[in-house]
Structure formats: structure tokens, C-alpha cells
Amino acid sequence: MDSEKHIRYQTAMVSTYYPDTSFLDHLVMPDGTEQSCGSDILPLLHSGKVFIVNSRKRNGLILFKRYHAEFAGPGAAVGGDYDSDCQMALPIGNLSLLSPESYEERQKAYLIRRQWIRLIKQITENPVPQQRVQKILDQFDQYFPSEMVADLPDAAFALLVGVFPQTVGTVRRLGSEVDGRLNY
């Protein structure tokens, strides 16, 4: 009898799953306003050209893909075939994109993009969602002014480290106290 219930519950779980559901249609900023992100940047990313995030400025891009987000910080390559699947882009800071002047400059930018991806990968390897959120917030606080980080939406951080936006909101409200309260 228990096995019959178990099978029915599994069927119900599968039947209520909607893979096309996405909260990338718009982002709700911490102040409650809705923002449609990167509408002028997206055509650049889809143009097939490669750009480099200016390494001399505190700027970057959060690139929203179908099921996750990637961060391209200073010095990283964006665009080309690499970001053809980008659905939305959120600029951080005063975004400045440059065109690579040489093959070597382009290769270096790809290596830097890989380093940014590895940094996020290291953070996501932590099995505790609250700790992943705290670590990504700490990393962004190192690169950008705190008020700039505070203005970024919870959904952006959630997609970067694989948690629910509500988890990001909770960690932001409770700060370092969250580990003791929510560690199951």
C-alpha cells in the first residue's frame, strides 16, 4: 500500500513540473522596482563579436542563461559564440566593453573569463545553500562597493550559486547569523 502511494506522489511531482517556467522575464530589484535588464547589451552579445569587460574599471556583467547565470568580471571575454545563449544581461558598475586588438588579447580575455567561472564553481561546490550565498556576497563586496552589491537583485545571486532567491533574501537580512539558524 505504501508503495502505491509513493508511486502516485512521484507521478504528481512529475506532472506539476514546468521546465519552461523562468523568472528571467524581469528582475525585481531590492527597492521593489522591476527592471528589464541589458536590453541594449544583449544585441551586442548576440552579434557574434567578442568584447572584453574593461579591466581598468570596477564593472562586470551577470549573464543570464536558461538555467543559471555567469559572472564576467573585469578582463573577461563576453559575446561571440560563448554567449549566444544569453537571455538577459545585468551590467554592474559603469560597464565598459572593449574590442580585443589582437589574438593574444582575446585569448587572455577568455582565460580570465574561465577564472571567473572557476571562482563561482568553487563557491557552488559548498553543499550548504546559505554559505554559498554568503560567499558570493562576500566576493562581490570585495570587487564592488557595498551599496552597488546591495542594489543587485536576489534572483541574480540565486542563479549564480544555485539557490532560491528567497535564500538570498534571508541571508541578506540575517547576515552571518544565518548559519546557526538555518543549518539543517
Per-residue pLDDT tens digits for 160-179: 999 999 999 999 999 866 55
Q: What is the pTM of this model?
A: 0.76
Average pLDDT over residues 125-132: 97
- Whether residue 86 contacts residue 65, with contact meaning beta carbons closer than 8 Å, is answered with yes
Query: What pLDDT was estimated at residue 33?
Result: 45
Per-residue pLDDT tens digits for 84-94: 999 999 999 99
Q: Which long-range contacts (CB under 8 A, 24 or more apart) does 24-31 make?
A: 24/64, 24/87, 24/88, 27/88, 27/90, 27/153, 27/155, 27/156, 28/153, 28/154, 28/155, 29/151, 29/152, 29/153, 30/150, 30/151, 30/152, 30/153, 30/154, 31/151
Per-residue pLDDT tens digits for 60-105: 999 999 999 999 999 999 999 999 999 999 999 999 999 999 999 9
> What separation in angstroms does the CA of 112 have from each of 54, 115, 141?
12, 5, 19
Torsion sign over Cα 143, 77, 71, 114: negative
**Distance in angstroms (rounded) separating the CA atoms of residues 59 and 21:** 30
Query: What pLDDT was estimated at residue 31?
Result: 52
- Whether residue 64 contacts residue 159, with contact meaning beta carbons closer than 8 Å, is answered with yes
- Whether residue 156 contacts residue 90, with contact meaning beta carbons closer than 8 Å, is answered with yes
Please list, in sequence order, all residues whose beta carbon lies within 8 angstroms of the beta carbon of residue 81, skipping any fewer than 6 positions away: 48
